[in-house]
Structure 1
Amino acid sequence: MYRPPEFLKAVQKELADWRMWSDRLVVLLFAGLAGLTVVVFTWLSEHALATFFVAYQKWFWWPLLWTPLLTMAIVFVTRRFAAGTAGSGIPQVMAALSVETPPLCRSLYVSLKLSLMKVALTASGLLAGLSLGREGPSVQIAAGVMHSARRWLSPNSPIKDSGLILAGGAAGIAAAFNTPLGGVMFAIEELSRRPEDRRSGLLMAAIILAGLMAVSAYGNKSHFGEIRVDQISFALLLPGMVVAVLSGIFGGMFARLLIYSLHNTSSHWVHAFRRSSPIWFAGGCGLLIAIIGLSTQGATFGSGYAHTRAMLENTDDVSSLYVLLKLVVTWLTTWAGVPAGIFAPALAIGAALGNDLAMLMQYPNAPTLIALGMAGFLAAVTQAPLTAFIIVMEMVTGHELVLSLMASALIASGISRLISQPLYAALTHSQLGRLPGKAPGQV
């Protein structure tokens, strides 16, 4: 006959092991520290980009010198002192969680040193005006902070390195977007391959705590402001479907272009030049980014937050070529080899795509198609539709658009899978090539 446990005995048993409680406290303290680190990183990145625009407004020609020179310096420091920081940061975290990576080699991908270098180098990229986001780097930064908690746990702690890295990576997304729910979904959909990690209440609490650090610092607000939509009707069906399909096509092509560029080992002179002279190649990419930025009156510089917000407020007058040009400068930024994320630029490209289609199809409520474009394009590039849907969903006031956002993300991601292999899985394979005894991959 079943007997429920007595309350006092259950409490006594739970409190008996002080080491377990000290381990829990360590994990939660480092989760708060990870969230705080991302908050500081956010502040530093925003001020770096603002400083770039102050100089650009004073001397319009300044980016032609500053952007390529600083890009070269960033790539030099990255390759010389912190090779593990190159690129987004998400493939590094996925490589650290891979079963192919021995525990002693995880520091190749996540560590406190790499986190600090990632903060400085990514902020420097925004200081150069490069088209990059800080959300992917936030994943690696927070994972490195959380991974360093391992040395403070008890020797026989049941909390594993993989669990700490998983919680840190997801906490980075939660803190970067002010979306704890998005961080949890990112952990489940993109990072975790171990069911026991997905079910860990302690690690979920750590993710949420890190996200709350960002909410406490910046308030419960989206970087793009709130997206207000009108009542949904059947009039949205055709425009919404067009946005989802085009987002999937362009997003899949963009992901395939990134994989091709970063993995290519052909003897073509461009790829050969990138391998033999990576610093000068980065300078050339920086110069092209500066030229495109000047041709758009600065619209393509930086992450794209400001122009996305302006589109939502109907105060943006960027050319219809913005989608193509922003895609090109984001590709060049990534190809240059600097530490750089693509989440924010992908959201900006998707928003511009939705805005262009709203004008072309004369749809009266442009913010609705902008939101669908953001969810669709991000889902197509990352092939993580649930994460993309939740991140954009938390920017929308009201629940009218929830199902439409989910449909846009799923359709775009499905189309993208027909065009390109998963972006982060391919880049993770390159990162695993950095393990001792393996052939290095192109990154």
Structure 2
Amino acid sequence: MAGISRKNRLLRRSRAMWVSRRVWQPRLVFWAGAVSIGLISVLFALLADRAQALFHIMTGNEGGWRFYLPLVVTPLGFVLCAWLAHSFFPGSQGSGIPQAIAARHLRDEDDRSRILSLRLVAGKIALTVVGLACGASIGREGPTVQVGASLMLQAARWGGMAQARGLILAGSAAGIAAAFNTPLAGIVFAIEEMGRAYEARTNGLVLTAVILAGLASLGLLGNYTYFGVAKDTVAFATDWPLVLACGIVGGGVGALFSLLALKVMRRIRRWNALQPLPRALVVAAVCGFAVAVIG
């Protein structure tokens, strides 16, 4: 009798947990957050593609006076983006990946909100689209990471979920997976770039977020290949040495470029410290003109 009574108590407790609002509310909000990441990431990708197409239409391919239009449009676009970021969207500066990584290590909620929030979602998308429409060379990976992390963190606030570090990781992975239709890439990105280790307590969050965001993306656009399909093959005897050479040379040049960029950024930050906004606008104009000249 004691065993039957204990079993009945466990069954009643189990039923109470399954119908409890405290159990289902965080899950439903988390699922809704993952789906919203998928939808917004796809919308972001479409807007970015349209912005790039608009720039190509504006500049044309026939030559003439429109060939020189980027010399004016691109610097002005850079200045506009810098002013908007400084005045209305502070915290949107940067690629987005370092900001998401930093947010995982912050403990104060106010500090975390300065780099991950719904306001920054709107700002990051808007500034990226404006920059692409003006001819800027901007990748979507970093902004999508910050957008996904911001959306998932906001969902956690609404749902009363406490695992902020794991949710930021899950949101970042879901954004990558949905934006490029690459679920495995989202998981690998979460391990290599964001987490540096696959924590047992966050793997379920990452997988669930990636799956739901990916399903939302598939439901909106269908099964597509964003980067196209490579039909070339590699013959070991003739082509592999070239592959190795490209990897070694590309890695070395990339490392030198990163080192140079870090040194230049440190100097620019010290120079900007005295008059942040005016000097930031000057730097933006110079960079925009340089991008226009390089093409």
Instruction: Confirm or deny a common fold (TM above 0.5).
Output: yes
1:105 counterpart = 2:111:
yes
1:214 counterpart = 2:231:
no
Shift of 1:270: 10
Identity of aligned residues (%): 38
Contact preservation (8 Å) 1:163, 1:197 = no
Question: What 5-or-longer segments of structure 2 have no aligned partner?
Answer: 1-6
CA–CA distance in structure 2, aligned partners of residues 253 and 198 of structure 1: 37
Contact preservation (8 Å) 1:188, 1:198 = no
Amino acid at match of 2:170: A
Per the normalisation by structure 1, the TM-score is 0.58
Amino acid at match of 1:150: A
1:273-299 Cα deviation digits (max 9, x unpaired): 988611022111111211221xxxxxx
1:125 counterpart = 2:131:
yes
Cα gap change, 1:275/1:33 in structure 2, threshold over 3 Å: closer, same or farther? closer
1:239 counterpart = 2:245:
no
Name which of 286, 289, 292 aligns with 1:287: 289
Shift of 1:272: 8.6
Larger Rg: 2
CA–CA distance in structure 1, aligned partners of residues 109 and 198 of structure 2: 19
Contact preservation (8 Å) 1:180, 1:212 = no
CA–CA distance in structure 2, aligned partners of residues 224 and 34 of structure 1: 20
Amino acid at match of 2:79: M
1:183 paired residue number = 186
Shift of 1:160: 1.5
CA–CA distance in structure 1, aligned partners of residues 289 and 275 of structure 2: 16
2:46 paired residue number = 43
CA–CA distance in structure 1, aligned partners of residues 68 and 234 of structure 2: 46
Name which of 154, 160, 163 aligns with 1:148: 154
CA–CA distance in structure 2, aligned partners of residues 137 and 18 of structure 1: 34
Contact preservation (8 Å) 1:64, 1:287 = yes
Tell me the secondary structure at the aligned position of residue 91 of structure 2.
helix
Shift of 1:16: 5.4
Residues 60-69 or 107-116, more deviating: 60-69
1:62 paired residue number = 69
1:73 paired residue number = 80
Residues 239-248 or 115-124, more deviating: 239-248
Q: Which has the higher contact order (CA 8 A, sep 6+)?
A: 2
Contact preservation (8 Å) 2:167, 2:205 = no
Equivalences, count: 282
Question: What 5-or-longer segments of structure 1 have no aligned partner?
Answer: 1-5, 294-443
Residues 67-76 or 276-285, more deviating: 276-285
Contact preservation (8 Å) 1:56, 1:62 = yes
More helix by share: 2
Shift of 1:26: 1.0
Cα gap change, 1:275/1:197 in structure 2, threshold over 3 Å: closer, same or farther? farther
Per the normalisation by structure 2, the TM-score is 0.85
1:30 counterpart = 2:33:
yes
CA–CA distance in structure 1, aligned partners of residues 273 and 242 of structure 2: 40
Shift of 1:213: 2.4
Shift of 1:27: 0.3
CA–CA distance in structure 1, aligned partners of residues 253 and 218 of structure 2: 33
Amino acid at match of 2:241: L
CA–CA distance in structure 1, aligned partners of residues 175 and 128 of structure 2: 14
1:82 paired residue number = 89
1:277 paired residue number = 279
Contact preservation (8 Å) 2:41, 2:144 = yes
Cα gap change, 1:197/1:17 in structure 2, threshold over 3 Å: closer, same or farther? farther
